[in-house]
Amino acid sequence: MPSAPSSSCPTTFRRCASGGCPRRRALADDTEMACSIARVPRTAGFDQDALARSFAEHHDFDRGYGPSMNRLLRLVRQGEPWRDLAAGLFEGQGSWGNGAAMRVAPLGVRFAADLPVAAEQAARSAEVTHTHPEAAAGAIAVAVAAGFAARGRAEAVTGAGLLDVVLDLTPASKVRAGVEQARLLLDQPHVELAAHTLGNGRLVSAVDTVPFTLWCAARHLDDYPAALWACAAAGGDVDTTCAIVGGIVAAHVGTAGIPAAWRQRVEPLPPWFFGHAAASWSALARTLPGERHPCVCCGRLVHDRPPGSHDICPLCFWEDDAVQLRLPAAAYGPNRISLVDAQVNARDIGACTQRDLSFVRPPQPDEPVDPDWRPIDPLRDRFEDPDGETDARLPWPTDHTTLYWWRPTFWNPCGR
């Protein structure tokens, strides 16, 4: 759903508030996942497996997903069971982030006529990616709020009534305790105080996000712009807080309550949401080995996309990150280990790290090693210093395959 052009940067916020925002704002992960939430129940009944497939099929790395969600969805796309992956996050605790809450408003609207069912289905939607009880509580609270708000098109509803219903249906949790605080703060108008007391999403957790967003929605249930500007003014995880509040308030005011200028500035919803033909990853035939790209860690031809696409190797669990390909001695990035060290581990134990062993499988006959691939040789291969001055580096090559050190086309900026 459209949200206010927003940023946690005060300068950007002031510029946007005065009308100086860019003409077109890209959709974020919040909206992309909300589209799956909205579409799956309509096309197949509420099916957790179908929802997991939709999340994975339409996952776009550039939409701003968090590292753990990027990895989980790529693995689901590669055929790994979503239940095991979701339950295994954060050392078996499951994710308690705000991702399940940020996407769930359409589900609440769908079940507006029966809010206890909305709560039950919200918990099931959360479980696909977020198994921690606090994440489920956050999703329940937002879904119930959106469903209650949607009733306002046919009956009188109030912000206080919204919070009361949420408290009735949200299970005992830190999220619910935060909503209780939001109810106590409802009559005070200061967004800074509310954000200081309830959180503003800065910790990216359901506990730190949902109570404040429900306060914003309840305070501004009839005023979509005011609700979203309150989120933007509070800073923190602004795109997520705006997505949650926007979903709840839009359920009440409808499209007519969203400024036309905002609707014109937001990227259109993806074509697949409307049922247009879109190739399913599960229906695509694998490319031939000669058309694939190698995993730079183990050398096997497993990737259908060029380097830097953030695909995960099913054989060693290396995430194909272009920065770590360019700076193979760097231990930062999605893999949390340098490419040089990961290659040693892949050779010795069969995975990039010990913790990745449960995610890898043996190679298939059609997954040979690239004939010319070899591990990095620190004495032979010259790379940039990962701790060097960023501003002094050359621009990125347009063809990331020139970062393959074993090929004659290797882009060796250190030798220039």
CA–CA dist 160, 215 (Å, integer) = 9
Binding-site sequence positions for Mg(2+): 29-30, 237, 239-240
Residues in the chain: 416
CA–CA dist 38, 27 (Å, integer) = 16
CA–CA dist 184, 127 (Å, integer) = 30
Buried b (16+ CB within 10 A) or exposed e, 49-81: ebbbbbbbbbbeeebbbeebbbbbbbbbbbebe
The one-character DSSP state at 104 is -
CA–CA dist 144, 122 (Å, integer) = 8
Locate tokens 């190797």: which residue?
Answer: 313
CA–CA dist 140, 77 (Å, integer) = 27
Binding-site sequence positions: 29-30, 237, 239-240
E-only strand ranges, 173-281? none
Q: Of 140, 150, 213, 125, which is closest to residue 170 (Cα–Cα)?
A: 140
